[in-house]
Structure 1
Amino acid sequence: MAKPFVFKLEKVLEFREQAEEQAKFALAEAMRLHQEQKKKLLAVEELLVAHRKKRYDNLSANEMWLWEQYDTALKADLHAAQNRLKQLALNLQKCRAEAVKKSKDRKLLEKLKENQAKKYHEEESLKEQKEFDEMATIRFKPENF
C-alpha cells in the first residue's frame, strides 16, 4: 500500500492562507471606511449647497458675518473631508494590492503542492507497475521449461 502524499510546506501554505484572510479583512475594512468617508463628503457638500442657496438680502452686518463664518467653516470641512477621502483611497489601493499579492503567494504554493502531488502519484504508480511486472515475470512458467 502506497503512503499518502505529504506536502512538506503545508505549514507555510497554512500561514499564507491565514495572511491572505487577514489581507482580505483589511481590504474590507478599508472599503468600509472609504464608503463612510464618501457619505460624509456628500453630506458636507449638501450642507454647503443648501447654505449658499439661502437668501441673505436682508441680513444685518452681524448676521452677514455669521453667514460668512459658517460658509468658511463648511469650506474647511469640505476640504478636510476631501483630503481624508484621498488618504483613504490610497489606503484602499494599498490594501487591494496587498490582498492580491497574498492571494498570488498562496496560489503559487498551492500550485506547487498540486504539481508535487501529481509527480508523487505518478512515481507511486510507476513503482506499483514495476512490482506487478516483476511478479508477473516471476510467476510466468513457460510450457517447455
Structure 2
Amino acid sequence: MSNFQFVFQKIVDLKSSEKTQAEWLLSNALSTLHTEEHTLEQLQASKAEWEQQMLLATQNGASLAEIQLFQHYIEHLYTKIEAKLIDVKKAQFAVYNSRHELGERLKDEKVWLKTKERAKQQFDHSLKLKEQNELDELATARFIMSAP
C-alpha cells in the first residue's frame, strides 16, 4: 500500500510558516501597543500629579517663579503626552495591519490545506478503486477456476 505524498507540501509548509510569522508580528505589535498605552497612562498620571502640586503651591502662596516652573513642566508633560498619543495611534495602526496580514495568511493556509485534503481524498478514492478492481479480478479468477 502506497503512502500519500502531496505534491505541493512545501507550499503548505511555507503558508504555515508565514501564518506563524504573522502571529509573531501581531504579538509584537500588541506588546508595543500595550507598552505605549502604559507609558501614556504614566504620563497622564504624572501630569495630573504635577497639576495637583501646582494647585497646592498656589494655595500655599508660592512665588510666581515657582508657579511658572510648575507650569513649564506641565506644558512639557502635555507635549510628551501629545507625542505619546501619536505613538499609540501608530501602534494601533500596526496592530490593525498585523491582524489584517494574519487574516490573509490564515486564508492562504486554509486554501492550501483544503487543496491537500481534496488531493488526499482523491488519492484514497483511487486507492479504494484499485483495491476493489484487484478484489474483483481475484473473484473472477476464482469463479473461472471453480467452473467445470
Tell me how far 1:129 sits from its aligned partner.
0.3
Residue range with higher mean Cα deviation, 122-131 or 133-142: 133-142
1:123 to 2:126 alignment = yes
Aligned residue runs from structure 1 range 11-90, under 5 A: 11-54=10-53, 55-57=56-58, 58-90=61-93
Distance 1:141 1:74, change over 3 A: same
Aligned-pair RMSD on alpha carbons?
1.5
TM-score (norm. length: structure 2): 0.91
Gap regions ≥5 residues in structure 2: none
Q: What SS class does the counterpart of residue 57 from structure 2 fall into?
A: coil
> Which range moves more in the overlay, 7-16 or 134-143?
134-143
How far apart, in 1, do the equivalents of 2:90 and 2:114 lie?
Answer: 36
Q: State the identity as a percent.
A: 24
Q: Give the paired residue count.
A: 144
Instruction: State the distance in 2 between where 1:123 and 1:144 align.
Output: 31
Question: Equivalents in 1 of 2:110, 2:146: separation in Å?
Answer: 58
Runs of 4+ in 1 over 3 A off after TM superposition: 141-145
* 1:35-66 superposed Cα distances (whole Å, 9 cap, x missing partner): 11111010011011111112232122211221
User: CA 1:144–1:76 in structure 2 vs 1: closer, same or farther (change >3 Å)?
Assistant: closer
Q: Please give the alpha-carbon distance, in whole angstroms, between the structure 2 residues aligned to 1:31 and 1:116.
A: 38
What TM-score, normalized to structure 1? 0.93
Which residues of structure 1 form unaligned runs of 5+? none
